[in-house]
Amino acid sequence: MKSTGIVRKVDELGRIVLPIELRRNLDIAEKDSLEIYMDGTSIILRKYEPSCVFCADAKNVVNYKGKNVCANCLKELKKF
């Protein structure tokens, strides 16, 4: 992992502020969703991009009955 040298305190509600420079570099806008991961004692934030439940492709994804499915997998499922 690359250190940014940025340190932020957690407020009384458990929030932190991501600096604007970091958000611009990572293309994170207001109201964007972030996924939260744990890796040992580390917390990893990643911009959420819906992906297909079958192949993990993030292009041409539609929501079908609460599940994200890409166009290619939809074509494959229609064959059955």
Q: What is the pLDDT of residues 12-38, one digit of tens each?
A: 999 999 999 999 999 999 999 999 999
Q: Report pTM.
A: 0.62
pLDDT at 8 (0 to 100): 94
Query: Domain residue spans in the chain?
Result: 1-48, 50-80
DSSP string, 7-74: -----TTS-----HHHHHHTT--TT--EEEEEETTEEEEEE-----TTT---SSEEEETTEEEEHHHH
Q: What is the pLDDT of residues 52-61, one digit of tens each?
A: 999 999 889 9
- Cβ proximity of 72 and 57 under 8 Å: yes
- CATH architecture label of 1-48: Ribbon (2.10)
- Please enumerate in sequence order all residues whose Cβ is within 8 A of that of 8, keeping only pairs 6 or more positions apart, or say none: 16, 17, 18, 19
